[in-house]
Structure 1
Amino acid sequence: MQEVRRFHALDSLRGICAIAVVLYHTHLVGSVTEWAFFSNADLFVEFFFVLSGFVMAHAYGSKPQLDFNHFLVSRTFRLLPLHAVMLAVFVGLEFIKYAAYQHGFGFNQTPFTGIYAPSQILPNLLLLQSWTHLTENLSFNTPAWSISIEYWTYMVFAATMLTASVGRYLLWAVIALSGFALFYSQADVLTSYAQKGLGCFFAGTLAYVCFNHLRRRIAPGFALLSVLEALAAIAIWAVLTSQLQQKSLAASAVFCVTIVLFAFDGGALSRVLRYEFFARLGRWSYSIYLTHLAVLFFVISGFMVVQKKTGLEAAPMIGDIRYLDTGHVWSNNVMVLLILAVVVTVSCATYHYVELKGQGLGKQLLRRRMVPAG
């Protein structure tokens, strides 16, 4: 079978999962955001970890040795520029909240305290915040916890590449099983975020090994893959809306199977996912994931101002969650679409002006390194 260069369906699925995470963090009374599926869509972060492991194994796993300097630069300039920009944005938002606080307008939390304390800036900048019990794991830009785990998991992956192919596969299995075992037993080793991230990422590397084995021996047709893809989608819906106690572990297993199936890029759903709309969501997925809470901050703040000025329950607290309410279910659903539109528009901009620029800087650095001195 011809070597697979890019997994188009999986790229698009990454974008759809990022949108689902946006809906998980968005709360409008009576809207689609309150469906059980989206109320559990934080589990799609596991999908990102599994997919990252799968892609890393595809890109590097079969190489006899790894150019660590090239790997370090490419991975750093892939993740860090947008993360650093969004960290700066959230620090700036604390200054805005502080100014509002000085004028008698309070938010949910006193500015520069708790997860937004100045002491958390450096751990965030170094992407260490979610690895230790000494730091606030969900500080500043909350979704960045997974970027913290992913970045240093890349370094663990690079270390496994020092062994021969059979040895590295064994290491991947040991790390995956250890991560899941620690997470399941709630052991106080690393953080639960690190345990889950390591388990899912290296489960993804093993999923690639399985895929690579399968594609060299079978060539499933369109009809079979279409049925299997549909069953995978149903399984994801069933797990996310279930009452399973170990829902995270079940979702991780389903995501591994789903990624293997969609990696063949051969079924009906894979064909749909090739449409440019979904392809763009895939390209912008990292920006969607990291920018959406900043967009939601401004939306929520606007609703809170309306509530303060008019007395209408536009931003009620239900439990410990800040909800938004325009007064009608239909208009709340329209507001959901508007929020998604703004998030995607902002993400398009950050993709082009932050992500691509950052990757370009990394490539320039690598080119300079390759030019011999003379």
Structure 2
Amino acid sequence: MKISQITFTRFLAAIAIVIFHYGEGAFVYKIKYISEIFAKANIGVSYFFILSGFIMIVAYHSKEKINYFDFYRNRVARIYPLYVIGLLLYLFTRSQETAFSPIIAYLAGVQSWFPGKVLILNFPGWSISVEFFFYLIFPFLYNYIYSRKYKFIWITGIVIWIATQVFCNYFMLSGLYEGRFSKSHDFISYFPLLHINEFLIGNLAGIFFVKNCKHKNYDWAILFVFSLIVLSLLFVPLYYHDGLMAVFFVPLIVLISMNNGFLTRMMSLKPLEYLGEISYAIYIVHIPVLFILRSFLWDYFRIYDKTVIFSIYIPVLIIISGFFYQFIEKPCRDYLKKI
């Protein structure tokens, strides 16, 4: 089951993260309130985790059982080639020698398990490391839990989500948190077990969707939920990064998926759907592309203005990501699936 309109939302989340990482040179940081929203746009990663759990159920719900080998092969084919490209591009930007052990940790996809080492090399790769963990456990969850213990998974998923939110917000307000550049920050922000609630909640949303899907015009409901997201980011001082926004992301994903109104027709347009298709490439290469482009503009054109660089960076990033999608991601995915 393909949900075309939800694909475009991946692009919006990816671009929000790109702007967040670019920082104050992006034009949106000059607009009051809008800048406050993009200063917290790293919650786009949380959206990715929840959406990943949702899509996994939607993609496999018609199967009685998932074949482990086929599943892992397909996931590697989908994710790994560009994951490696992101690393190679990043290494290209480093003039100094890079240690061998971080490269091994990155290639093995285990960096998120080690506070202090999480953001090694192409640092957006930390979230792919977490996704690898989700993919590792999903076939077991689907084959032995979701198909047999329906009420149990709802209770367990919600309890895990609540426990994670209580723990994370307590941790951030306690003396255990030592600041942004500490191991405690790496633990609370990136450790896979603190993100498992997002994937599980996404799974539950997917189960609800496939059992209760009724296509109607939900345009106004979608806009209302989106408004709540904006207002919460502006005025609610809580820690959002470990799944708290699921209270809004889950209804947003479900409503968009069931919607047949104007917003769905617009988001299903082929150009917008294509932007969603290349969103993974945008996300995984946006840091090395920024480093390479910025160095090029500095050295050859003496362009140092952050706003000017940003206006060049975004279209260049989209074009390069489209190239990677067409000539690396898709061919590698098709080839690996045939093995």
Alpha-carbon deviation of 1:239? 2.6
- Give the equivalent residue in structure 1 for 2:122: 141
- Give the equivalent residue in structure 2 for 1:126: 108
Instruction: Give the residue type in structure 2 aligned to 1:350.
Output: F
Larger fraction in helix: 2
- Give the equivalent residue in structure 2 for 1:200: 198
Per-residue CA deviation, residues 254-283 of structure 1 (Å, 9 max, x unaligned), is 111100100113122222111222111111
Distance 1:228 1:354 in 2: 38
8 Å contact kept, 2:56–2:203: yes
Q: The residue matched to 1:266 in structure 2 has which SS?
A: coil
- Give the equivalent residue in structure 1 for 2:79: 79
Where does 1:54-93 land on structure 2 (aligned, <5 Å)? 54-93=54-93
- Give the equivalent residue in structure 2 for 1:356: 330
Structure 2 residue 150 is the aligned partner of structure 1 residue 152: no
8 Å contact kept, 1:14–1:282: yes
Distance 2:109 2:273 in 1: 28
- Give the equivalent residue in structure 1 for 2:42: 42
For 2:287, which of 293, 296, 314 is the aligned residue? 293
8 Å contact kept, 1:28–1:336: no
Structure 2 residue 246 is the aligned partner of structure 1 residue 252: yes
8 Å contact kept, 1:81–1:358: yes
Unmatched runs of 5 consecutive residues or more in structure 1: 99-110, 315-324, 327-331, 366-374
Alpha-carbon deviation of 1:176? 6.0
Structure 2 residue 207 is the aligned partner of structure 1 residue 209: yes
- Give the equivalent residue in structure 1 for 2:319: 345
Per-residue CA deviation, residues 170-203 of structure 1 (Å, 9 max, x unaligned), is 3475356436524641479x94321343111111
- Give the equivalent residue in structure 2 for 1:9: 5
Instruction: Give the residue type in structure 1 aligned to 2:136.
Output: M
8 Å contact kept, 1:7–1:265: no
Structure 1 residues 62 and 244: CA distance shift in structure 2, 3 A: farther
Structure 1 residues 131 and 176: CA distance shift in structure 2, 3 A: farther
Instruction: Give the residue type in structure 1 aligned to 2:134.
Output: T
Instruction: Give the residue type in structure 2 aligned to 1:91.
Output: L
Count of residue pairs the alignment pairs up? 316
Per-residue CA deviation, residues 189-247 of structure 1 (Å, 9 max, x unaligned), is x94321343111111011112223332xx553x2xx11111112212222333342133
Query: Where does structure 1 differ by over 4 angstroms across 4 or more consecutive aligned residues?
Result: 302-306
Structure 1 residues 84 and 177: CA distance shift in structure 2, 3 A: farther
**Once superposed, what is the RMSD of the aligned Cα atoms?**
2.6
For 1:233, which of 212, 218, 226 is the aligned residue? 226
8 Å contact kept, 1:179–1:195: no
Distance 1:15 1:90 in 2: 22
8 Å contact kept, 1:229–1:258: yes
8 Å contact kept, 2:26–2:310: no
Structure 1 residues 349 and 168: CA distance shift in structure 2, 3 A: farther
Instruction: Give the residue type in structure 2 aligned to 1:204.
Output: G
Per-residue CA deviation, residues 69-95 of structure 1 (Å, 9 max, x unaligned), is 11010011111111112212222322x
8 Å contact kept, 1:26–1:33: no
Alpha-carbon deviation of 1:284? 0.3
Where does 1:294-313 land on structure 2 (aligned, <5 Å)? 294-302=288-296, 305=299
For 2:271, which of 268, 273, 277 is the aligned residue? 277
Unmatched runs of 5 consecutive residues or more in structure 2: 172-183
Structure 1 residues 29 and 346: CA distance shift in structure 2, 3 A: closer
Structure 2 residue 166 is the aligned partner of structure 1 residue 166: no
Structure 2 residue 235 is the aligned partner of structure 1 residue 242: yes
Alpha-carbon deviation of 1:62? 4.8
Q: The residue matched to 1:229 in structure 2 has which SS?
A: helix
Give identity over the alignment, percent. Answer: 25
Distance 1:63 1:169 in 2: 20
TM value normalised by structure 1: 0.77
Instruction: Give the residue type in structure 1 aligned to 2:261.
Output: G
Q: The residue matched to 1:137 in structure 2 has which SS?
A: coil
